[in-house]
Chains A and B, each alone.
Chain A
Amino acid sequence: MTPPTPESILQAIKEKHVTMTPRWHFIVRVSLAALLGIFIALTLFFLTSLMEFFWTRTHLNVLPGFGGRGIALLALRFPWWYFVALVIGMASLIWLLRRFSLGYRLPLVVLAGGSLAVLVAVSLVLVRTDVHQRLENRASRHQLPLVGGLYRGIPGRIGEIHLGTISNLTKKGFTMIVVDDRQDVSITVTEETEVPPGWVPTVGERVAVLSARDGKNVTAISIRPFWGGPRDGFTETHYYPPVNIQLE
Chain B
Amino acid sequence: MPESQTTDEELARQVQTGHMASFAELVRRYQDKLLRYGSRFLRGSPDVEDIVQEVMIKAYRNINSYNTQQRFSPWIYRIAHNAFVDVLKRRHLEAVPFFNPDELWPHPQATDNPVLDTDRTLIRQQLEKCLNDLAAKYREPLVLRYFDDLSYKEISNILRIPVGTVSIRLKRGLQQLQTIYRDNGYHL
Contacts and interface: CB of A to CB of B under 8 A. Distances in A.
A8 B53 CA distance: 9
Nearest to B100: A108
A4 B50 CA distance: 8
A4, A13, A18 — which one has the most chain B CB atoms within 10 A of its CB?
A4
A54 to B, nearest CB: 32
Contact of A26 (B27, B65, B165): B65
Interface string A17-58: 011111101100000000000000000000000000000000
Contact of A4 (B49, B103, B105, B161): B49
Contacts of B64: 20-23, 25-26
A22 B136 CA distance: 34
Contact of A105 (B31, B57, B63, B163): B163
A120 B53 CA distance: 49
A118 interface: no
Interface string B48-88: 01101100110011111100000000000000000000000
Interface in A149-186: none
A138 interface: no
A3 B63 contact: no
Contacts of A104: 156, 160-162
Given A104-B161, A107-B105, A109-B104, A3 B62 contact: no
**Secondary structure of the B contact surface, majority rule:** helix
Contacts of B60: 13, 18, 20
A8 B31 CA distance: 12
A6 B32 CA distance: 11
A246 interface: no
Contacts of B56: 4, 9
Contacts of A10: 20, 23-24, 27
A109 B105 contact: yes
Nearest to B67: A26
A105 B178 CA distance: 28
A199 B105 CA distance: 49
Contacts of A13: 57, 60
A9 B27 contact: yes
A132 interface: no
Nearest to A7: B24
14 contacts: A4-B31, A4-B56, A6-B31, A9-B27, A9-B31, A9-B53, A18-B61, A19-B61, A20-B62, A21-B62, A98-B160, A105-B156, A107-B106, A107-B165
Interface of A: 1-10, 12-13, 16, 18-23, 25-26, 98, 101, 104-110
